[in-house]
A and B are shown apart, each in its own frame.
Chain A
Amino acid sequence: MEFISKQNFADFVKGLYSEYDIFYPKKNSGGGRDWAKWQKGDEFSLEGHRTVLPVKYFFYSPQENLVAKQRRPLIIFGARGCDTRGLELLKKIYLDDPKDPYFRKDILIFTADCTSAHSDCFCSVLGAHPWAEKDFDLNFSPLGDGCLIEAGSEKGKEILRKNSEKLEDVSETHKKEQARIRAAAEKIVNGQNNGVTLDMQKLKGKIETRNSAFENHGKTCVSCSACTTVCPACFCFFLSEGKENKIRYADSCQLPGYARVAGGANPKKELISRFMHRFGCKFSWRPSMHNNLGCTGCGRCISGCQGKINFKEVLIEVSQ
């Protein structure tokens, strides 16, 4: 672990730009954070919580011509623990044999500990923490006057080696401060979720059975697919034909035509079956087949829902 001061941090970012495009969380007018491409002179802080959109669209586009592309490698600077947990599932799906050659592999993930929480965040309900424990190249723990940096990959280590003159040794005070800030962030998430942590095995056993919670919460669903669009772990797409190449469109299990086959038969015609499909996929099928939850507790689905459905409440009710 290393420490970087606020002053050196700006030089560190500038240095990285010579090799990489960098995207960072930039405050928007609504108080949330959007991904912004770093330009010379930009300054940013890693404090705060998750962005409005997940990191998945850096790896593939919602609409994409499937042709080879020449791009600068990329650093996503300031992803959160929930982003990496979603990304791990996407990697298991897209990079499983046969590999999807269009899923980007030239992106480095620099995570940052959350120092606050969006009001919809519920990672603690799933037993997760508001920081990344693995699957990052570098992790940054903001400490006020700088950041603690932990390398999680060979590439991350190499970057630290190249920047060694900007780094300082870590003191006990730094470590204590990191623990204090992490605990404070966890307290916020826990607090806004009333200290609830669900038993994922128990939930898995119940999630595929019809339950009044699905009926009650699902009735305001308007099948708009906002939940799947902003979800860091939803991966569905539709493959289509362009004039000279295939085109991939992001798709959603919440749209009425998702499972329709030629001739019109549609196993997911009823709204409730589509609503339940999403829960089954996230809490039973992906854990069974990919050893990965399909939910990260980021709460983006709640923030984006046009029908004001609180997906966390559905989980809690189903668990009871």
Chain B
Amino acid sequence: MNDPYKTLKAAIIRVTDETSNIKSFLLKPEKKFSFKTGQFVQFTVPGIGEAPFTPSSSHFEKDEIEITIMKAGRVTSRIHELKPKDVVGIRGPLGKGYPLEEFEGKEILILGGGVGMAPLRCLLLSLLEEKNKYGRILLLYGSKTPGDIVYAGQFADWKKRGTEIYRSVDRCDTGEWKEKKGVVTCLFEGLKLNPDNGVAVVCGPPIMMKFGTMKLLEVGYKPESIYLSMEKNMSCGIGKCGHCACGKYFACKDGPVFKYSVVKDIANIWD
């Protein structure tokens, strides 16, 4: 029986503390596991529950998969208790990912906030793997404080591999921050962009997605050139259970990546 609810066993290889409430889990599935950047998986803690996450590792990696998870609720609290050698489940890949073929030859602006950097890391690593296919790659990343930056040790490598990186923090109580201060949209100041031949990809908390998208429109991006990762309460992941309704769409099946032009008229999309 072909069962879309069945999980694939995966062993935890490594747990990395990213911030005080965010950890990355490197998993080794019992079989090769392929996904496209932007697609998500249901992470199952046996007997406890499932929660949806977009992997943060490159989609070119087939043997291991890394998932970055913020402790935010019942299931994620249990996930944060997991240790190497524990066995969990993954179900997927689910949904539609980023249409990389539409990005080819274009300037790509990646706009991330907080733990929203997780799917964007996957995107960035996948883009860098075939960097010659794309134009300029920019990463604009905002977090609350310097201590909330995920993948803090990896930005230097991404920069070395050709990514232009701009970062901001909302506040810095210790005073040790040499980059920008302010919400993520402040990073657009003085930045020369090519929205006519560029795409923008946004992921972060709903409020950041809203103002980030407004800013992108303001600087000239067309609604059809802005790609959003919609955070909804996916349960089945295959367009049956109804939870992730986003107007007429099911975010799990029709998304989770949507062009802004597709969802802009849906009531309360930023809630």
Which residue numbers of A lie inside 8 Å of B, CB to CB?
A: 66, 68, 93-94, 96, 98-102, 208, 235-243, 246, 251, 253, 258-267, 273, 277, 280-281, 284-285, 288-289
Contacts and interface: CB of A to CB of B under 8 A. Distances in A.
Interface of B: 1-5, 44-51, 70, 72-73, 75-76, 206, 231-233, 235-236, 238-243, 245, 247-249, 267-268, 271
24 contacts: A93-B240, A96-B239, A101-B1, A101-B3, A236-B241, A237-B240, A238-B235, A238-B243, A239-B241, A240-B50, A241-B46, A241-B47, A243-B47, A251-B235, A251-B241, A259-B243, A260-B233, A261-B233, A262-B51, A262-B75, A264-B73, A267-B271, A277-B245, A281-B242
B50 A265 contact: no
A253 B267 contact: no
Contacts of A237: 235-236, 240-242
Nearest to A276: B267
Nearest to A95: B240
A96 B45 CA distance: 27
A291 to B, nearest CB: 12
Given A98-B4, A246-B5, A267-B268, A241 B50 contact: yes
Contacts of A253: 242, 245
Contacts of A260: 233
B72 A236 contact: no
Contacts of A258: 233, 243
Contacts of B1: 68, 101
B50 A100 contact: no
Contacts of A240: 49-50
Given A93-B240, A235-B240, A239-B5, A261 B47 contact: no
A200 to B, nearest CB: 15
Main secondary structure of the interface of A (DSSP, over half): loop
B233 A251 contact: no
Contact of B240 (A94, A243, A273, A284): A94
Contacts of A68: 1
Nearest to A286: B248
Q: Give the residue among A240, A243, A265, A288 with the most B Cβ atoms within 10 A.
A: A265
A63 B249 CA distance: 26
Residue of B1, B2, B245, B247 with most chain A CB atoms under a 10 A cut-off: B245
A285 B1 CA distance: 31
B268 A262 contact: no
Contacts of A262: 51, 70, 72-73, 75-76
A207 to B, nearest CB: 12
Most chain B CB neighbours (cut-off 10 Å) among A242, A262, A285: A262
Given A101-B1, A262-B72, A93 B239 contact: yes
Most buried by B among A94, A261, A266, A280: A261
B44 A251 contact: no
Among A101, A241, A273, A285, chain B packs the most CB atoms within 10 A around the CB of: A241
Nearest to A285: B248
Contacts of B44: 241
A243 B47 CA distance: 5
Contact of A208 (B73, B239, B267): B267
Contacts of A93: 239-240
B73 to A, nearest CB: 4
Contacts of B249: 289
Nearest to B270: A267
Given A98-B238, A241-B49, 14 more contacts: A93-B240, A100-B4, A101-B4, A236-B242, A238-B235, A239-B50, A239-B241, A241-B44, A241-B45, A259-B243, A266-B271, A267-B268, A281-B242, A285-B247
Nearest to B42: A239
